A and B are shown apart, each in its own frame.
Chain A
Amino acid sequence: MNQNQPDTPRPFREAVNDTVQQPSLSEQQLEHLMALQQQAIHHDAPETPPPRNPWKWRWAVASLMVIGLSLSLLWTNPQDYSRDIALEVVENHLKLKPLDVSTHSMQGIQEFFTQLDFSPSRSSVLGNRFLLTDRQLLGGRYCSIKGDTAAQIRYQSDTGVATFYQVDYHSERFGPIPGIDKNERPLAMNIKGLNVSMWVEMGLLMVLIENP
């Protein structure tokens, strides 16, 4: 707590430090958080499951059958979402929100994106076809594609800032997208005057937006 006179000018750093140190957890809150940690230690063994309710199982089986039927109908007639995806990422590209991390290496990108259920990967298509390398990397930020958390990786290309998106690919969610691993060519579109390329590589949906 600050012991200086409130109206005496003092170094900014000290004043900030004192301001930050003012709030405190109450004793009760602190005890609760300590107990939370203790519980985590003593509950390493899985908890005993509650007694099963047979009616719940019947409902669950019936629900699963309905869901399964719906999914099988969807799978037999997969929808093409590529244009929706392209429109969404083009909106992201045009907003050009601040980077969450600035880095010039893919390792820096991989170290930053810890909250994804995949690891951002170096794309062979990006280097070979679009000639974008780590040297042109600017950084990255979290974003989402169709509600799934995705990585936006930003490059400085010859024609301006290019944004490159990666998200875990699920065909039922994103529809059929050309797979590089199947020797297919990336899908190419032009939306709002921007070149959009889309493909699946290493199990990830990848989308590149760049100026023509």
Chain B
Amino acid sequence: MSNTLLSPDQLQGLFRYAMVLCQHEANAHDLLQASLEVWLLEVRNGKTVLNPEAYLRTLIRHRFIDAYRKQQRWQEHSFEEQATYDISPLDLEQLHIDQQQLDSLWKTLSPQDRDILYHWAVLGYSTDEACELLGVPRGTFLSRIHRLRKQHRLIRQHDPVVLSSPGAEP
């Protein structure tokens, strides 16, 4: 078996990723264990995976989509590209929020949005890169964040006014 085993820290990280998607501890544990078993079986069959963590994130994500799409937890419809919104990845960097507000807001986000925010905040991708990696249209994500900001009055560091795009409401 040429692949290195995952460390406890890596397993914790993957569990947190599963939690990001499903927001349910038992389901997240099941997602992780089932994906780990698939990977271990493949390794036993001679498959070499260069980045097991990334590979397991993909397995977890695919398994989550398969399991939960039927329960309509996975967003099936995309919004049209909203080019007039004055939102960019830089704006997201400048948003401020208090932890209590985010903790309550987090569960109301769609799994896709949490997935993108995870790739952005934890793994260090830009939002554009995360959207591309996860196959989510950029406009879909940004328009949802736009609505989020509007609904929850997230603070922008240099712009206390919540909305900054005149006449851009859908």
Which residues A64-94 have CB closer than 8 A to chain B? none
B63 → chain A, closest Cβ, in Å?
10
Smallest CB gap from B9: residue in A: A30
Q: B11 contacts which of A21, A23, A33, A101 (Cβ < 8 Å)?
A: A33
- B-side contacts of A8, CB under 8 Å: 98-99
CA distance A19 to B41 in the complex (A): 32
Smallest CB gap from B136: residue in A: A98
A24, B135: Cβ atoms closer than 8 Å: no
Smallest CB gap from A3: residue in B: B99
Smallest CB gap from B33: residue in A: A33
A-B pair number, CB within 8 angstroms: 123
Number of interface residues of B (CB under 8 A): 50
A16, B117: Cβ atoms closer than 8 Å: yes
Which residues A137-156 have CB closer than 8 A to chain B? 139, 141
B138 → chain A, closest Cβ, in Å?
10
Let me know if B150 is at the binding interface, CB within 8 A: no
A40, B95: Cβ atoms closer than 8 Å: no
A13, B121: Cβ atoms closer than 8 Å: yes
By secondary structure, the B interface counts as helix
By secondary structure, the A interface counts as mixed
Let me know if B87 is at the binding interface, CB within 8 A: no
A41 → chain B, closest Cβ, in Å?
5
- A-side contacts of B140, CB under 8 Å: 98
A40, B122: Cβ atoms closer than 8 Å: no
- B-side contacts of A114, CB under 8 Å: 58
Known: A4-B99, A23-B15, A98-B137. A37 touches B36 (CB 8 A): yes
Let me know if B169 is at the binding interface, CB within 8 A: no
Number of interface residues of A (CB under 8 A): 44
CA distance A7 to B100 in the complex (A): 7
A31 → chain B, closest Cβ, in Å?
9
CA distance A19 to B101 in the complex (A): 11
CA distance A23 to B20 in the complex (A): 10
A33, B32: Cβ atoms closer than 8 Å: yes
Q: A19 contacts which of B11, B76, B103 (Cβ < 8 Å)?
A: B103
CA distance A13 to B89 in the complex (A): 11
Let me know if B163 is at the binding interface, CB within 8 A: no
Known: A97-B76, A98-B76, A102-B135. A23 touches B98 (CB 8 A): no
A100 → chain B, closest Cβ, in Å?
5
CA distance A10 to B16 in the complex (A): 22
- A-side contacts of B5, CB under 8 Å: 34, 37-38, 41
Q: B44 contacts which of A10, A38, A40, A98 (Cβ < 8 Å)?
A: A40
Known: A6-B99, A8-B98, A13-B120. 9 other contacts (CB 8 A): A5-B98, A9-B98, A11-B93, A13-B121, A19-B103, A30-B8, A33-B33, A98-B135, A100-B135
Q: Which residues of A contact B (CB under 8 A)?
A: 2, 4-21, 23-25, 29-30, 32-34, 36-38, 40-41, 43-44, 97-102, 114-115, 139, 141
